Structures are given as C-alpha cells and as structure tokens.
Amino acid sequence: MAMAERHNTIVCSFDSASPRITAWDIHEWIYPTLKILDYVVQMVQIEGIRRQECIKLINTEKVKETLREMAMQLDYKYPIGEIFKVTVE
C-alpha cells in the first residue's frame, strides 16, 4: 500500500493471525479505543486480506491529534475473548 494515496487516514493493522473483523465491530471500536467522534470520521474501509482498517478523517489535523494522543500499538478484544495486537499509523 502506498501511503501517499491515503490522505487524512489512520491505518489500523490487525495481527495476521487474528479472526476477520466486521465493519460493525470496527465502528464500535473506533470511539472507545481511538477516541474518534463520529462526525470526524468520513469513511471506514476494511481491507480484509491485509487485515487493515483504514479510517479517513475530516482533516490532517484530526489525524495528527489522534495519533499524538494514543499508543502506536493497541489491543483489540474479540467478542469470544481473544485479544490481538493492532498497530496504528
């Protein structure tokens, strides 16, 4: 993936061994974990084969602010209780 093609986007890369995740699961994960409000999110794209979720925000400042306020690696807890690492860039 060429990062230059993605403007105002946060990419969440899930562990390659993790189960597939649904769009609803991502929606429910964005605010509590990333603290991104609904009005700031323009689009969420799931790239299942790469195990990535691309979250496009309204502007570059919101991306920078979000990345400044969080760790670059987070946990995602699946409904079945398994926890996998997520890298955020």
pTM, whole model, 2 decimals? 0.83
CA distance 18 to 83: 9
Note the pLDDT of residue 59.
94
Q: Are 53 and 45 in contact (CB under 8 A)?
A: yes
CA distance 87 to 6: 17
pLDDT, tens only, 20-35: 888 888 888 888 888 8
pLDDT, tens only, 54-75: 999 999 999 999 898 887 899 9
Q: Quick count: other Cβ atoms within 10 Å of Cβ 41?
A: 18
Q: Give the chain's domains with CATH numbers.
A: 3-88 (3.30.70.330)
CA distance 80 to 59: 35
Burial-class residue 7 by CB neighbours within 10 Å (0-12, 13-18, 19+).
Answer: exposed
Note the pLDDT of residue 2.
46
